[in-house]
Structure 1
Amino acid sequence: MSPTPRITAEPFRRPQAIEWPTLILAAAIYGGWGLLTYFHAAIPLLALIPAAAWTIAWHGSLQHEIIHGHPTRWRALNRALGFVPLSLWVPFARYRMLHLSHHRDERLTDPLDDPESYYWTDADWARLSPIGRGLVEAQTCLAGRLVIGPAWSIARFLTTELRAIRAGDRVVRAIWLRHLLGVAAILAWLSLVCGFSPLAYLLIFVYPGTALQLVRSFAEHKAEGAVEKRTAVVEGSPVLGLLFLNNNLHAAHHAHPTLPWYRLPAWYRANRAALLEDNGGLRYEGYGDVFRRFLLAPHDRPAHPLGRAPERGWQGSGGAEEIGETGFAHS
Structure 2
Amino acid sequence: MSPQKSWPDVESHATKRVTFGLLDAHPHRYSTPLVYQLGSHRFQMLLGRRPYESIRNDFHVPFAVARQVAPYTWDYSDPYHQALQSCLTRDPSQRAAASDVVERVGLVVALSEIRRQLLEVEERNLTGRIQIIGDIFEDGSGVRSRGICDGEGVCVRYSNNISASDGNGILDGQILNIKRHVRIWGRLVHRNIEAFRGWALNVEERRLRVGFISTWRESVAVRRYLQQNPSADRRVLVRGVAQGLFYLHSEGVVHANIHPDNVMIGNQGDPYLRGFDFSYDHRFEVPPYGYYDGLHHNGLQRFMPPELLDGSIRVPTQTSDVWAFGCVSDTH
Query: Aligning the two structures, in what range does the TM-score lie when normalised by the shorter sequence?
Result: under 0.3
More helix by share: 1
Give TM-score, length-normalised by structure 2: 0.24
Structure 1 or 2, whichever has the larger Rg, is 2
Q: TM-score, normalised by structure 1?
A: 0.24
Q: Which has the higher contact order (CA 8 A, sep 6+)?
A: 1
